[in-house]
Structure 1
Amino acid sequence: MMQPLIDAGVNLTNHQFDGLHDNIIVRANAANVTNMLLIGCDLQSSQDVLTLAKKYRYYATAGVHPHDAKSADEHFIEKLSSLLQQPEVVAVGECGLDYNRDFSPRNIQREVFSKQLELAKKLNKPVYLHERDASKDMLAILKEHSVNGVLHCFTGDKNALDSYLNQGLYIGITGWVCDERRGKELQQLIPDIPLERLLIETDAPFLIPRTILPKPKSRRNEPSYLAYVCDTIATLKKLSFDDVAKQTTANFQQLFVNKTN
């Protein structure tokens, strides 16, 4: 039997999963995905993932995504702080900067991000980070705060990778690495990511691995496909599947549960 896996990033409140939660969990269990981190992106979804985490005995985050930064009210930190008192809520996020889509003004993104880093430091919680086309500003803000965390769904270049690793962050890898078109640069960087700093995630329902055969009828990703991410990383690092599975599980526990790093 293969090593158990932990999915370090699932958007279970996404509308694509409406009415399907029980089925998704059954398939995840059958694929030996024994736990997952359910991601909050604003105050409402953070409350919703907490409810799901309690129901299914998973972990959750609470935070404001940069896309939603423009909608954060003056009391959002107090509300997040309340959610983060719950034992299931193990990280602040999804938070960060997104200069690719710019759904929120950049100055507001930076302000909302900084406040969440301050909260993480105050509560001694790791952060679950999002960054697109904003690594320079992201790193500058991170250097002002002493926090642990993971750069989720990393798709950057070598310089960004080295900088995030130097900040002591974990690196989250998704099905992007299984994409023979868009994932070539990331595939080349996988050997440069220390195994003890690696997390694997589906980011479901997005980024379904293109290595799944036969190809699923639905383009909706789900946690049961996490093994394809693990397998691709193992191949690129010239390690066994079990080696990657075992260490990424231990990394998850260290960052989000035991917090001994």
Structure 2
Amino acid sequence: MSDTFDDFLPEALRFTAPAPLVDIGANLTHDSFARDLPAVLRRAQAANVTTLILTGTDREHAEQAIAMARQHAGKGLGLHATAGVHPHDASRWDADLATAMGELHRQPEVVAVGECGLDFNRNFSTPAEQELAFEAQLELAAENGKPLFLHERDAGQRMREILHAWRDEITDAVVHCFTADRATLFGYLDLDLHIGLTGWLCDERRGHHLRELVTQIPSTRLMLETDCPYLLPRNLPAKLKGRRHEPALLPWILREIAHWRGESEAELATATTATARRFFRLTADAAGETGRDDMTHEDS
């Protein structure tokens, strides 16, 4: 039996953001959401997470994200999609896939090219294959003018080199789920990139360095995301059965980041939402202003 709106999140985890939030990285096409997606969306809306950017990591999931955005249009939430090929799947890139991606980028629901980039941590595709697919998607973004939704792990120097070469051709770009060091952060900021932060900062094992870096990210370059169902914050005030992350928990990430930045949750919510709306070129209605304005996997 699927969980209902009321019984999935314990009372201690039912947060409400003081201003509308945008979750810029929600993997709602993941199989774990198939059983209760309507309840997940209702919980997001109750938490004042009014806009969701659904991550398309390959052709199949991008098509699913577009269909999901269409299905739920006009139901109180702003759902949008990205379309790209993740570096893990870069070995699949060919001319047919490039054509298919170009067609997906023309769909009005698609607000960014990606998730694309480099992952030299796992190398599920070779570095050469990753770079080929990444540059091909940079070319698509240069042609269509859409912003980029980027993935990088253990590849900061090479990522910066490639982006530097393309910087005059592309528009905006966000490094989603940023987890790297100070030098990498400032390298991205020097390229005028945006930074997406997740619950990684809530992880006492590996997120401490981010707590020191969050004050260095200008509010006009900072956005928030869950990367759900992955990266469930480890410091939640109550346990969550199944350990599946979801957009309704974004206000907890907001609270943590606001604490370490030394600003109010309302200030941070307002600033990051304004940044996300500008970045993804969302209209007021599409951004939801008519509303309440193995899960230990690494980031997707």
TM-score, length basis structure 1:
0.96
CA deviations on 1:53-91 (whole Å, 9 max, x unpaired) are 111231100000000111223222211111111111010
Counterpart for residue 123 of structure 1: 144
CA deviations on 1:5-35 (whole Å, 9 max, x unpaired) are 1101000111111222111101111111101
Which SS does the other structure have where 1:150 is aligned? Answer: strand
Gaps of 5+ in 2: 1-16, 74-78, 284-300
1:154 aligns with 2:178: yes
Counterpart for residue 189 of structure 1: 213
1:61 aligns with 2:77: no
Counterpart for residue 124 of structure 2: 103
Shift of 1:217: 2.2
In 2, Cα distance between the equivalents of 1:128 and 1:106? 19
* Contact residue 211 and residue 228 of structure 1 kept, 8 A: no
Q: Name the amino acid aligned to 2:71.
A: K
In 2, Cα distance between the equivalents of 1:49 and 1:32? 21
Gaps of 5+ in 1: none
Higher mean C-alpha deviation, range 152-161 or range 70-79:
70-79
Shift of 1:197: 0.6
TM-score, length basis structure 2:
0.84
1:135 maps to which of 122, 144, 156: 156
Counterpart for residue 93 of structure 2: 72
CA deviations on 1:102-160 (whole Å, 9 max, x unpaired) are 00011010000001001101100100000000011111111111221100000000000
Higher mean C-alpha deviation, range 163-172 or range 54-63:
54-63
* Contact residue 40 and residue 62 of structure 1 kept, 8 A: yes
Identity in percent: 44
Question: Which structure carries more relative contact order (alpha carbon 8 Å, separation 6+)?
Answer: 2
Which SS does the other structure have where 2:281 is aligned? Answer: helix
In 2, Cα distance between the equivalents of 1:213 and 1:164? 33
Counterpart for residue 171 of structure 1: 195
Across the aligned residues of Structure 1 and Structure 2, the Cα RMSD in angstroms comes to 1.2
1:113 aligns with 2:137: no
The count of corresponding residues between Structure 1 and Structure 2 is: 259
The structure that has the greater radius of gyration is: 2
Which SS does the other structure have where 1:218 is aligned? Answer: helix
Shift of 1:206: 0.3
Q: Name the amino acid aligned to 1:145.
A: W
CA deviations on 1:143-178 (whole Å, 9 max, x unpaired) are 111221100000000000000011111100000011
1:42 maps to which of 58, 77, 81: 58
In 1, Cα distance between the equivalents of 2:280 and 2:99? 21
In 2, Cα distance between the equivalents of 1:89 and 1:241? 29
